[in-house]
């Protein structure tokens, strides 16, 4: 089987990818509209006609997608399909890349994400992010969690801050494991614990949406199971968008699933529907493991 690097695929989005059966490739080339139901009622976030460019290269093509209240939406697709790029647009993390350009409309509760009124700092406080590799700061466990509330001025005194930290650690299911060493460096924890610490750090700011970029890809199965449980619990309070490589994970944790391919959103629907009865040929190929 011929394997192609992610960047190759990105470079030549219209070239034939040999691993894709010809009929599917034709279907992809013809694809202008997403299959399934990209919109939901009463969405938390909305995106319309989103295109993303890195310099001259286009990474995302005309994506329309809604993220509903209190739902977990999983984004799946082969490497380099643009799912992470799309995710990073949702809290403007791509601003830190100088060559990156975003067009189209994106909104949070009807407010334009890239509008003049919405400050990126405020946006990121409302739309938190958990990254692929656990990235605790070189600080104590306590200070890691307290970091967000501190910079945003969310606690007016020490007691309040303590409350927030303990509560966040509890919600992240980490409190019992670290309560005796809350001043130990965050980096002294195990990989799974570090990732839960990062989640605790994110929810300490009380965001409305949490974006997760392959949060389990660096973890072992047990730690992964723990995080998946956590995601399910968090759904009560937050809307969650999760990018994942693992179809099983998507099936386990999400209510809706979006399938990306070479920068296009191919299909999006209820998770069950996508996995049991995919409408598009590409989705079917991916789900049945014919490429990816």
Partner 1 sequence: MSTTTLFLLTIGLGLASFVYGRSRAYAIAKGNGGVKTLHSLPSHYGMMVALWCALPALAVIIGWKLLEPSLISNMLDTAIPQTVLDGGEKAVELYKNDIGNIVDSDKLSAVTDAEKKIAAERLTNLRSTSSLALFVLALVVAIIGAVIALKKIHPQTRARHKVERIVNFFLVSCASLAILTTVGIVFSVLFESARFFQQVGFLDFIFGTKWSPQTAIRADQVGASGSFGAVPLFLGTLLISFIAMLVAVPFGLMSAIYLAEYASRRVRNIAKPLLEILAGIPTVVYGFFAALTVAPALRRLGESIGLSVSSESALAAGAVMGIMIIPFVSSLSDDVITAVPQAMRDGSFGLGATKSETVRKVVIPAALPGIVGGVLLAVSRAIGETMIVVMAAGLAANMTANPLEAVTTVTVQIVTLLTGDQEFDSAKTLAAFALGLMLFVVTLCLNVIALHVVRKYREQYE
Partner 2 sequence: MSALEKTSSSATTERVKASLTKRYAAEKRFKFYGIFAISASIAFLFILLASIVSKGLPAFTQTYVKLDVSLTADALGIPENATRDELRKANFSGVIKSSMRERFPDVKKRKEKKELYGLISTGAQYDLFDLLIENPAVIGTDVSMWFMADDELSAVIKSKADLTNPDSLVTRLSDNQIAWAKDMQDAGEFDVRFNSTFFENGDSREPELAGIRAALMGSAFTLLITFALSFPIAVAAAIYLEEFAPQNRWTDIVEVNINNLAAVPSIVFGLLGLAVFINFFHLPRSAPVVGGIVLSLMTLPTIIISSRAALKAVPPSIREAARGLGASPLQVVTHHVLPLAMPGILTGTIIGLAQALGETAPLLMIGMVAFIVDIPASVTDAATVLPVQVFLWADSPERAFMEKTSAAIMVLLVFLILMNAIAVLLRKRFERRW
**Nearest by Cα to 287 from 262, 255, 261:** 261
Select the span of 47-55, 177-185, 198-206, 240-248 touching partner 2 (CB under 8 A): 198-206
Asked if residues 54 and 110 have their Cβ atoms less than 8 Å apart, the reply is: no
The reply to whether 168 sits near partner 2 by the rule CB under 8 A is yes
Tokens for 187?
């980096």
Cβ-proximal residues to 241 (8 Å cutoff; 6+ apart), any chain: 67, 72, 73, 75, 87, 90, 209, 210, 211, 212
Alpha helices in 113-261 (DSSP H): 120-126, 141-152, 158-171, 175-178, 191-203, 221-234, 247-253
The reply to whether 233 sits near partner 2 by the rule CB under 8 A is no
Burial group, residue 128, by CB count within 10 angstroms (0-12, 13-18, 19+): buried
Q: Using the Cα atoms of residue 161, residue 163, residue 166 and residue 168 in order, give the sign of their dihedral.
A: negative
The reply to whether 150 sits near partner 2 by the rule CB under 8 A is no
Q: Kindly tell me which of 125 and 282 has the beta carbon lying closer to partner 2.
A: 125
Select the span of 24-32, 144-152, 184-192, 223-231 touching partner 2 (CB under 8 A): 144-152
Binding-site string for partner 2 from residue 102 to residue 141, where x marks contact by CB under 8 A and - marks none: -----------------x-xx--xx---------------
Asked if residues 59 and 116 have their Cβ atoms less than 8 Å apart, the reply is: no
Q: Which does 164 bind (CB under 5 to 8 A by kind): partner 2, partner 1, none?
A: partner 2
Q: Which does 155 bind (CB under 5 to 8 A by kind): partner 2, partner 1, none?
A: partner 2
Tokens for 67?
């993220």
Q: Which does 91 bind (CB under 5 to 8 A by kind): partner 2, partner 1, none?
A: partner 1
Q: Which does 183 bind (CB under 5 to 8 A by kind): partner 2, partner 1, none?
A: none
The reply to whether 111 sits near partner 1 by the rule CB under 8 A is no
Site residues (CB under 8 A) for partner 1, limited to 30-89: none
Give the span between the Cα atoms of 176 and 265, in whole angstroms.
41
Interface positions with partner 1 (CB under 8 A): 91, 93, 96, 120-125, 128-131, 133, 135-139, 147-148, 150-152, 198, 201-202, 205
Tell me which residues touch partner 2 (CB under 8 A). 119, 121-122, 125-126, 149, 151-155, 160, 163-164, 166-168, 171, 203-208, 237
């Amino acid at each position: 089987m011929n394997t192609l690097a992610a960047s190759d695929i990105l470079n030549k989005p219209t070239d034939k990818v040999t691993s894709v059966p010809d009929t599917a490739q034709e279907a992809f080339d013809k694809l202008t509209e997403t299959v399934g139901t990209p919109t939901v009622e009463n969405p938390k976030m909305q995106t319309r006609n989103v295109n993303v460019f890195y310099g001259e290269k286009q990474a995302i093509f005309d994506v329309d997608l809604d993220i509903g209240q209190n739902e977990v939406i999983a984004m799946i697709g082969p490497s380099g399909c643009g799912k992470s790029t799309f995710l990073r647009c949702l809290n403007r993390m791509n601003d830190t890349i100088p060559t990156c350009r975003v067009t189209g409309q994106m909104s949070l509760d009807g407010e334009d994400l890239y509008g003049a009124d919405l400050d990126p700092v405020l946006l990121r406080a409302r739309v938190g992010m958990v990254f692929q590799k656990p990235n605790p700061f070189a600080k104590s466990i306590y200070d890691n969690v307290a970091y967000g509330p501190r910079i945003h001025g969310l606690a007016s005194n020490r007691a309040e801050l303590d409350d927030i930290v303990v509560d966040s650690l509890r919600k992240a299911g980490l409190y019992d494991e670290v309560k005796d060493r809350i001043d130990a460096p965050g980096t002294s924890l195990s990989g799974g614990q570090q990732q839960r610490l990062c989640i605790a750090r994110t929810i300490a700011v009380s965001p409305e949406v949490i974006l997760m970029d392959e949060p389990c890809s660096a973890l072992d199965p047990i730690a992964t199971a723990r995080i998946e449980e956590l995601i399910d619990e968090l759904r009560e309070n937050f809307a969650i968008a999760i990018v994942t490589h693992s179809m099983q994970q998507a099936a386990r944790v999400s209510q809706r699933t979006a399938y990306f391919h070479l920068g296009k959103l191919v299909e999006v629907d209820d998770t069950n529907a996508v996995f049991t009865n995919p409408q598009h040929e590409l989705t079917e190929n991916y789900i049945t493991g014919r490429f990816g």
